[in-house]
Amino acid sequence: MSVELKIIGSDKFCKMIEDRAANGQMSYIDAIVRVCDETGIEIESVNKLITPRIRKSIRTEATTLNLLKRKRGARLPV
């Protein structure tokens, strides 16, 4: 069985992520993993493809899930 790797640009990659995450189907982190699986792109190379807006959304999700340390300072619960 041959595996065909799809060659896509940054714009199309980000659009695929936004489509999945914006519909509430999954988080941005899960959307990136799914798109990488579908397209054959290595997760290590995603940093070069995503926009600052998606990067900010990922950071927010990761902080909410306690995957990243929060910055010092007070933050009111929402």
Burial zone of 21 (CB within 10 Å; 0-12 exposed, 13-18 middle, 19+ buried): buried
Output the pLDDT for position 5: 46
Structural element, H or E, at residue 72: none
| Confidence at residue 72, expressed as pLDDT on a 0 to 100 scale | 66
pLDDT in tens, 18-76: 999 887 779 999 999 999 998 888 999 898 889 999 999 999 888 888 887 766 666 66
pTM for the model stands at 0.74
Give the model's pLDDT for residue 70. 66
Q: Which residue has the higher pLDDT, 72 or 13?
A: 13
Helix H or strand E segment including 21: helix 10-22
